[in-house]
């Protein structure tokens, strides 16, 4: 698992390209915030997480299936990831931050991705 990238993944780069093209500037992976969000818009008090469908358990997505071997290990590992994500989201809400989850499968269509990001960042809340 040491070869699994946590930063600079293809989906994250796609989100960064679209966000930059929309004219928004951001900080990356702020350590001070719960969950170290992928993109941070401090002035707007909003963050974006780019989640891999497998690692963060995107329900209903075909990429979310469990491996056929070591099911117990993977079940515990991936459930732990999901619970940690929920905890970090709660902490962000308590600190007054809004967040958007973008799933890996949503990054395949740049037009759809642009609409998702634009509506989140331009929303007044």
The CATH number that applies at residue 73 is: 3.40.960.10
Whether 2 is covered by a domain: the verdict is: no
Q: pTM for the whole thing?
A: 0.89
Whether 1 is covered by a domain: the verdict is: no
Provide the domain limits for residue 18.
10-122
When pLDDT is cut at 50, 70 and 90, the band that residue 65 belongs to is: confident
Whether 5 is covered by a domain: the verdict is: no
Opening angle at CA 42, ends 97 and 52, nearest 5: 65
Residues 20, 23: Cα–Cα separation, whole Å? 5
How far is it between the farthest Cα atoms of the chain? 46
Per the structure, the count of domains in the chain is 1
Using DSSP's 3-state secondary structure scheme, residue 28 falls into strand
| Region of residue 96 (left: phi > 0; alpha: psi -120 to 50; beta: else) | left
pLDDT tens track for 70-80: 999 999 999 99
């Amino acid at each position: 698992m040491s070869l699994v990238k946590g930063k600079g993944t293809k989906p994250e780069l796609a989100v960064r390209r679209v966000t930059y093209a929309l004219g928004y500037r951001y900080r990356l992976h702020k350590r001070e915030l719960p969950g170290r969000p992928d993109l941070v818009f401090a002035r707007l008090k909003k963050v974006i997480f780019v989640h891999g469908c497998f690692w963060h358990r995107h329900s209903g997505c075909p990429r979310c299936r469990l491996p056929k071997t070591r099911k117990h290990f993977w079940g515990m590992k991936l459930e732990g990831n999901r619970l940690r994500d929920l905890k970090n989201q709660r902490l962000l809400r308590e600190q007054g931050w809004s967040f958007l989850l973008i799933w890996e499968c949503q990054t395949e269509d740049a037009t759809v991705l642009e609409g998702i990001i634009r509506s989140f960042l331009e929303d007044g809340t």
